Amino acid sequence: MTELMEQAPAAGTAVPAAHAGVVGGAAGAAAGGTVVELTMQQALNRALADALAADDRTLVFGEDVGRLGGVFRVTDGLRRRFGARRVFDTPLAESAIVGMAVGLAMSGWRPIPELQFDGFAYPALDQIVNQLARMHYRSRGTLPMPVTLRVPSYGGIQAPEHHGESLEALFAHVPGLKVVSPSTPREGYRLLRQAVADPDPVVFMEPKSRYWDRESFDPAAEAEAAEAAATGPGSPYTLRIARRGRHATLVTWGAMVKRCLEVAELAAEDGVELEVVDLRWLSPLDAEGLAAAVRRTGRVVVVHEAPRRAGLGAEISALVMERCFDALRAPVARVTGYDVPTPAGPLEAHYLPDADRILLAVQAVLEG
Partner 1 sequence: MDTSESLPLAASAPLAEPPAAADSGLLRRLYRAMALTRAIDREALALQRQGVLPAYVQVLGQEAAQVGSAAAFDPARDFAFPTYRELGAAMAWGVDPVGYLASHRALWHGGLWDPRAARFAPVNAVVGGPVTHAVGWALGARLDGTDGCALAYFGDGASSQGDVHEAMNTAGVWGLPVVFFCQNNRWALSVPTEEQVAGGSVAARAAGYGIAGERVDGNDAVAVHAAVRRAVERARSGGGPTVVEADTYRRAPHSTSDDPTRYRDRSEEAHWAARDPLELTRRHLLAAGAADAEWIAAADDAARRGAREAADAVSALPEPGGEEMFAHVFARPTATLREQQSQWREWREYQVEYQEVAGRD
Active-site positions read 163
Is residue 173 within 8 Å of 161, Cβ to Cβ? Answer: no
Contacts to partner 1 from residues 46-65, by CB under 8 A: 59
Contacts to partner 1 from residues 260-299, by CB under 8 A: 284-285, 287-288
| Total interface residues for partner 1 by CB under 8 A | 55
73: contact with partner 1 by CB under 8 A: no
**The binder of partner 1 chosen from 18, 22, 96, 221 (CB under 8 A):** 96
Contacts 24+ apart (CB under 8 A), 227-235: 227/193, 227/197, 229/194, 230/194, 230/197, 230/198, 235/284, 235/286
Q: Draw the binding track, 220-259, toward partner 1 (x: CB under 8 A; -: no contact).
A: ---------------x-x----------------------
- By C-alpha distance, which of 196, 144, 148 is closest to 171? 148
Contacts to partner 1 from residues 103-132, by CB under 8 A: 103-109, 111, 126-127, 130-131
**The binder of partner 1 chosen from 46, 81, 136, 208 (CB under 8 A):** 136
139: contact with partner 1 by CB under 8 A: yes
318: contact with partner 1 by CB under 8 A: no
Q: Draw the binding track, 157-196, toward partner 1 (x: CB under 8 A; -: no contact).
A: ------------------xx-x------------------
Least distance in angstroms from the C-beta of 72 to partner 1 = 24
Q: Which is nearer to partner 1, 42 or 127 (CB)?
A: 127
Least distance in angstroms from the C-beta of 289 to partner 1 = 11
- State how far the Cα of 294 lies from the Cα of 40, in Å rounded to an integer: 29
Is residue 109 within 8 Å of 56, Cβ to Cβ? Answer: no
149: contact with partner 1 by CB under 8 A: no
Angle CA(225)–CA(175)–CA(326) in degrees, nearest 5?
75
199: contact with partner 1 by CB under 8 A: yes
Residues 6+ apart with CB under 8 A from 328: 294, 298, 299, 300, 320, 321
138: contact with partner 1 by CB under 8 A: yes
34: contact with partner 1 by CB under 8 A: no
Beta bridge partners, 217, equal: 36
Q: Which phi and psi (to 5°) does residue 318 adopt?
A: -65, -40
Classify the phi-psi angles of 336: left when phi > 0, otherwise alpha if psi is within -120 to 50, otherwise beta: beta
The DSSP secondary-structure symbol of 198 reads -
Sheet bearing 58-62, strands edge to edge: 87-89, 58-62, 110-114, 148-153, 202-207, 178-180, 281-283
Residues at the site binding partner 1, with contacts judged by CB under 8 A: 1-2, 4-5, 8-13, 59, 85, 90-91, 93, 95-96, 98-109, 111, 126-127, 130-131, 135-144, 175-176, 178, 199-200, 235, 237, 284-285, 287-288
